[in-house]
Amino acid sequence: MSVDSETDIPEVLYASLTDSVRRLVDATIRSRAELATITSAKAKIDAVADELSRSMMPGSFGIQSAADGQSRVWGNAVIGLRNALAPPLVVHHDPDGRVWADVTLGAAYEGPAGHVHGGICALILDHVLGATAHKPGRPAVTGTLSLRYEGGTRLGPVRAEAHIDRVEGVKTFAVGHLATPDGVTVRAEGVFFHPRTSPRDA
């Protein structure tokens, strides 16, 4: 069982805590509870946040090395195991270089009524296209990203996929799309690269 090397806390417990927070985020949007319940919920959440905050890593999670040599990005906004904002995306790398992820997007990802926010589509496509250029411990960063919205993306099951179109020097040109059971909804292309010195965006 994988544990955090610093605290000896099993990875699955962090994942489970984050799932609970994710469910709370959803309930905070959709609850029809009465005033007394909302008031008491807030007090209880504050108390839990106080307990968790007694000892915190400064700044952000960043990239941490685990005992097994793997690097952990548990705070990442798209794939982070401890980030309740992340759907989270589980990114698959096929042997032929294709990258894909299946995810179900609920109420927290809404833009137009019943549909995924256009910017959330961009967030997911940025990550999945960028993943085509990832190397272990050396994530790629975004140079450019272009998106064409062909239709609304309904909340619910969504697939994102991408592949490398070509590589020119340090630049990886990736293309991909987002699809729902209705078909392709957003197409994307982007240029990604590995920064020489400090990390930039991806």
Name residues contacting a second copy, limited to 164-183 (CB under 8 A).
none
Hey, is 191 helix, strand or coil? strand
The string of DSSP codes covering 62-130 is --EE-TTS-EE-TT-TTT-TT-TTS-----EE-TTS-EEEEEEE-GGGBSSTTBB-HHHHHHHHHHHHH
Instruction: Based on the shown chain and the rule CB under 8 A, indicate whether residue 67 belongs to the binding site for a second copy.
Output: no
- Comparing CB distances to a second copy, the nearer of 111 and 163 is 111
d(CA 7, CA 3): 8
The answer to whether the beta carbons of residues 189 and 174 sit under 8 Å apart is: yes
Instruction: Assess 123 for contact with a second copy (CB under 8 A).
Output: yes
Q: Which stretch binds a second copy (CB under 8 A): 30-38, 92-100, 157-165, 167-175?
A: 30-38
Site for a second copy in 72-91 (CB under 8 A): 74-78, 80, 82-85
**Counting contacts by CB under 8 A, is residue 32 touching a second copy?**
yes
Name the residue among 122, 185, 126 with its Cα closest to residue 156: 185
Closest contact distance (angstroms) between CB of 98 and a second copy is: 20
Amino acid identity for residue 25 in this structure: V
Given a contact cutoff of 8 angstroms between Cβ atoms, the answer to whether 144 and 171 are in contact is: no
45 binds a second copy (CB under 8 A): yes
Q: Which stretch binds a second copy (CB under 8 A): 41-49, 94-102, 157-165, 168-176?
A: 41-49
- Contact between 28 and a second copy by CB under 8 A: the answer reads yes
Does 16 help bind a second copy (rule: CB under 8 A)?
Answer: yes
Which residue number, 95 or 127, has a Cβ lying nearer to a second copy? 127
Residue 7 or 70: the one with the smaller Cβ distance to a second copy is: 7
Q: Which is nearer to a second copy, 106 or 163 (CB)?
A: 106
Please give the full DSSP string across 38-50, using - where no structure is assigned: HHHHHHHHHHHHH
Residue 21 makes contact with a second copy by CB under 8 A = yes
Nearest distance in Å: CB 180, a second copy: 12
Contact 181, 126 (CB under 8 A): no
Candidates 56-64, 90-98, 163-171: pick the segment binding a second copy (CB under 8 A).
Answer: 56-64
Q: Is 9 helix (H, G, I), strand (E, B) or coil?
A: coil
